[in-house]
Amino acid sequence: MEIAAPYLMFLGDVPDDLAAKTAHGIVDWRPEWCLGQLRLPGCRADLKIPDLTVPEAAERGARTMVVGVVNAGGVLPDHWVPVIVAAIEAGMDIATGLHVRLGDTPAVRDAARKHGRRLFDVRHSSQRFATGKGTKRSGLRLLTVGTDCSVGKKYTALALEREMRARGFDADFRATGQTGVFISGRGVAIDAVVADFISGAVEWLSPEAADTHWDLVEGQGSLFHPSFAGVSLGLLHGAQPDAFVVCHEPTRTNMRGVKHPLPAIADVIDLTIRCGRLTNPAIRAVGIAVNTQALGEGEAQGYLDTLAADYKLPAVDPVRFGVGEIVDRVAHEFPQAAPQDGRLARASA
Amino acid sequence: MEIAAPYLMFLGDVPDDLAAKTAHGIVDWRPEWCLGQLRLPGCRADLKIPDLTVPEAAERGARTMVVGVVNAGGVLPDHWVPVIVAAIEAGMDIATGLHVRLGDTPAVRDAARKHGRRLFDVRHSSQRFATGKGTKRSGLRLLTVGTDCSVGKKYTALALEREMRARGFDADFRATGQTGVFISGRGVAIDAVVADFISGAVEWLSPEAADTHWDLVEGQGSLFHPSFAGVSLGLLHGAQPDAFVVCHEPTRTNMRGVKHPLPAIADVIDLTIRCGRLTNPAIRAVGIAVNTQALGEGEAQGYLDTLAADYKLPAVDPVRFGVGEIVDRVAHEFPQAAPQDGRLARASA
């Protein structure tokens, strides 16, 4: 998997920015790779980067058009096909995180073949996995879990990687979703793996390592989401985390895509520990990461302070205030893997 | 999916009868379809039906050779291929529940093409599914869950179907594994579904139904099995059972294929209710089904009596003593779906 940058970000005509979270994530973490966005009439997402046509992007050197959106069921709408074909004809590879394979659409397949371009279906790993064994592996692991989908699990893991590396920790982000794979250039889209191999794929993704090494494993879904909890549980068992961070969005009323209310953070902590003990009896919570975008800054800080007091855990907004407090806690609880001065230095506010 | 009977049961050279549980299940429930078994040198499984060569089976009218064994990772060993090709050349279709597709082995694919025979990969559904919604559906559902893999979940669900139908209930077995699909001629091998669609596939398998109708959904794995718990949780959420039966094997020390001990039945009941409430707040346990094969009859009955007293639930061995007591409990707890005389009549001991 080597997707060539720079990218033209294709958003189609998705109804909101949450549906473009893949594209937003790539722009957040790799802005230098994202030349511009291509939006169709009716598109309600906006990456706040230049709008480019296919010829304009090609002229600026775009090497891959990234279909950076998700939609229900992951289908490829018919009216997106002409733009994808045009990008291929203009010399770009195409990369998507959709459930369907690009090559299943004849016009796309034929254009790629004719013009010698590559089609990347990030959700479709050709990697074969074994079933999970649940055996304890060396090295340390942190998993981000959530009260719902789309509450910042990837962002938090990436922010932890950045902060920990800046402090001298030996830490690697481990991608389990398409956006993370686009950002880190490796990983596995865990929700696309055959069900029998969920935990086995995560064991492959996060192998044995030095005792001072941290894998920061991107979580998926929620143990409380009726569509995806199976993925979340297999991921938890395969990651066998020593530590986990709960991610949350306080203004959301329903879980994404269904009618169920969000669980309490306390319930997420409790069920994560209860189930996680199966493969790591020492599992513990080390922080809460909240997306406070919908709150004012004072309100956000007050909310975080209350959470911190209630749960006796650092509670941060990774975007607004950084993840420094969580890294402080990690350094304190796992001193064997903290750099000499890592308990004090703070790379971000 | 229409697999033609009668069958020749191919066991390869698997090391024990547990690895041949698919074949055993088919023989148990469809003995009239199973003409004989074909075993390679070193095979430690035995279906207690006639040993037949390929020519003998063909002469007796076998229409399909069923590769009725599972092995780690589901691969097709090279030294099984000549026998499979010989069966095709003798006029049989081939059906397997292995993870690999028969057609991925060139010699098998070519022989099937040349002789016009069909290859059934029961684990590979061509059916497309939606993601699960978790919305409550009409009709009643019972799920069999387990302390481990291979503890009688399929057998119990089939025994319940037989007993309930004999008493006049409107009840259907719903297969979620390859053996069940072979036996019932329909269903979905849930562990072969893409992870994102586990609960959605079960919602498809067990659709809305009359208020007096029971779906008896075959469980898979265990919420406590580090390899497969994700499948079990997605199945639980998708099945949204009103009732569940815990299946157990009391002499097993380790969970199948891993080093973990078996959970307590109490823990299985507790976690099943806790997680199952997400899609059905009224979920309740209605019985315990134990495989007491390793115990003497008196010892078995004593063990079941103790369980029944401890858990205040009917505790039975479906093979030895039938599932009548569990059906009594179901009729009592859900009188709206019980036939007029179903609370008293007992089809099996």
DSSP output for A43-86: -----SS-B--HHHHHHTT--EEEE----GGG---GGGHHHHHH
**Inter-residue contact B112 to B92 (CB < 8 Å):** no
Structure tokens at A141: 């692991």
Residues 84-103 of A with CB under 8 A from B: 99
- Check CB contact under 8 Å for B72 and A131: yes
Across chain A, what does the average pLDDT equal?
Answer: 93
Q: What's the gap in Å between the CA of A346 and the closest CA on chain B?
A: 37
Average pLDDT over every residue of A280-297: 97
Chain A residues 253-272 with CB within 8 Å of chain B: 257-260, 271
Pairing of strands B64-67, B93-96: parallel
Q: Say yes or no for a CB contact (<8 Å) between A226 and B194.
A: no
Helix B229-239 / helix A229-239 crossing angle, nearest 10 deg: 160
Closest-CA residue to B178 (of B70, B339, B306, B33): B70
- Site from B121, B131, B135, B255 to mutate, A interface, most A CB atoms within 10 angstroms: B131
The residues in B 4-33 lying below 8 A from A, measured between CB atoms, are: none
The answer to whether the Cβ–Cβ distance between B278 and A199 falls below 8 Å is: no
B187 or B322, which is more confident? B322
Per-residue pLDDT reduced to its tens digit, A257-276: 999 999 999 999 999 999 99
ipTM: 0.84
Q: When comparing pLDDT for B342 and B70, which is higher?
A: B70
Cα distance between residue B146 and residue B225, in whole Å = 10
Contact: B227, A133; criterion CB under 8 Å? yes
Edge-to-edge strand order for the sheet containing B7-12? B34-39, B7-12, B64-67, B93-96, B119-121
Contacts of A228 in chain B (CB under 8 A): 131, 196, 199
pLDDT at A122: 86
pLDDT of res. B346: 56
Q: Which residue intervals of chain A bear CATH 3.40.50.300?
A: 140-337
Banded pLDDT at A345 (limits 50, 70, 90): low
| CA gap A99, B127 in Å, rounded | 14
Does B76 contact A at CB distance below 8 Å?
A: no
Residue B96 pLDDT exceeds 60: yes
Q: What is the pLDDT of residue A182?
A: 87
Contact A194 B194 (CB under 8 A): yes
Closest CA to B182 of B26, B346, B332: B26
Q: What percent of chain B has pLDDT over 70?
A: 95
Round the CA-based radius of gyration of chain A to a whole number and report it.
20
Mean pLDDT, residues B104-133: 90
Does B223 reach chain A within 8 Å, measured CB to CB?
yes
Beta-bridge partners for B287: B245
CA distance B205 to B203: 5
Interface list for B 140-179 with A (CB within 8 A)? none
Domain covering A140-337 in this structure, CATH number: 3.40.50.300
pLDDT given for residue B102 in this prediction: 93
A303: closest CA among A348, A269, A265, A267? A265
Spatial separation of the C-alpha atoms in residues A258 and A254, rounded to whole Å: 7
pLDDT for A181 equals: 84
pLDDT score for A192: 87
Looking at residue B126, its pLDDT comes to 64
Contact B97, B122 (CB under 8 A): yes
Q: How far is A159 from chain B (nearest CA, A)?
A: 26
Residue A57 predicted with pLDDT over 60: yes
**Given an 8 Å threshold on Cβ–Cβ distance, is B134 in contact with A259?**
yes
Residue A178 confidence (pLDDT): 85
Q: Residue B123: its pLDDT value, please?
A: 81
Residue B349's pLDDT is: 41
> Residue A188: is its pLDDT beyond 70?
yes
Give me the residue from B73, B191, B257 closest to A195, CB to CB: B191
Nearest Cα residue in chain B from A220 = B196
Distances (CA, A) of A246 to A102, A309, A337: 34, 15, 21
Kindly report the nearest CA distance between residue B76 and chain A, in angstroms.
14
pLDDT tens for B246-287 read: 999 999 989 999 999 999 999 999 999 999 999 999 999 999
Q: Cα(B35)–Cα(B120) distance, rounded to whole angstroms?
A: 19
At residue A94, φ and ψ (nearest 5 deg) are -120, 135
Q: What is the DSSP letter of B3?
A: P
Residue A349 confidence (pLDDT) above 50: no
Residues in B touching A268 (Cβ below 8 Å) = none
Q: Which residue has the higher pLDDT, A123 or B58?
A: B58
Which residue from B191, B195, B237 is facing A190, i.e. has the nearest CB? B195
Q: Is the pLDDT of residue B49 over 90?
A: yes
Question: Is the pLDDT higher at A105 or at A187?
Answer: A105
- Inter-chain contact A237–B230, Cβ cutoff 8 Å? yes
Which is more confidently placed, B320 or B346?
B320
The pLDDT assigned to A70 comes to 78
Rounded Cα gap, residues A328 and A344, in angstroms: 7
CB-nearest to A226 from B190, B199, B259 is B199
- Locate CATH 3.40.50.720 in chain B: 7-121
**By percentage, how much of chain B surpasses pLDDT 90?**
81
Residue A171 predicted with pLDDT over 90: yes
List, in order, residues 6 or more apart from B41 with CB less than 8 Å away. Answer: B13
The pLDDT value recorded for residue B72 is: 62
- Residue of A135, A224, A228, A232 to mutate when probing chain B, most B C-beta within 10 A: A228
Q: How confident is the model at residue A73 (pLDDT cuts 50, 70, 90)?
A: low
- A124 and B CB contact within 8 Å: no
Q: Which of A121, A128, A131, A220 to mutate to test the interface with B (most CBs of B within 10 A)?
A: A131
Nearest CB to B132 within list A226, A271, A279: A226
B231: closest CA of chain A, how far (Å): 6
Of residues B253 and B140, more confidence is placed in B140
Instruction: Establish if A73 touches chain B: CB-CB under 8 angstroms.
Output: yes
Sequence-ordered alpha helix ranges (H) in A99-177: 106-115, 153-166
Out of A251-255, B169-173, B209-213, which region has the weakest mean confidence (pLDDT)?
A251-255
pLDDT given at position B26: 92
Each residue's pLDDT tens digit, B150-180: 899 999 999 999 999 999 999 999 999 988 9
CATH superfamily of B7-121: NAD(P)-binding Rossmann-like Domain (3.40.50.720)
CB contact under 8 A, B233 and A228: no
CA A261 to chain centroid, in Å, comes to 22
Mean pLDDT of chain B: 93
Q: Is the peptide bond before B318 cis (omega within 30 degrees of 0)?
A: no
Neighboring chain B residues of A237 at a CB cutoff of 8 Å: 226-227, 229-230
